[in-house]
Amino acid sequence: MGFCLENEKGAHIPVISTDVYAERITKYFEQKDINFTVWCFDPDWACCLINDWNFTPSTQGTFFKNYLQNKK
């Protein structure tokens, strides 16, 4: 699963959204004990976790990096 902002590289329907989507969907997954995978660790495929090969996180990358680092 993934998302990107409307103005980000690779933005298209149905992936255009904001981190509000990610907050809601991860909360839902946690409540239902659903596993998931974020996509994609490549700057040329949408929804990108990184913006370049220097591994600069995208909006989605920043959200999921913080989310996963704060999991217990």
Is 51 in contact with 9 (CB distance < 8 Å)?
yes
Residue 62 token pair: 């920043």
Q: How confident is the model at residue 1 (pLDDT cuts 50, 70, 90)?
A: confident
The Cα 11–Cα 34 span in angstroms is 26
Average pLDDT, rounded, for the chain: 91
Q: What tens digit of pLDDT does each residue of 7-20 get?
A: 988 888 888 998 89
Query: In the predicted model, what is the mean pLDDT of residues 41-55?
Result: 91
High-pLDDT (> 70) share of the chain, %: 99
Is 22 in contact with 60 (CB distance < 8 Å)?
yes
Name the pTM for this structure: 0.83
Q: What tens digit of pLDDT does each residue of 14-41 get?
A: 889 988 999 999 999 999 999 998 888 8
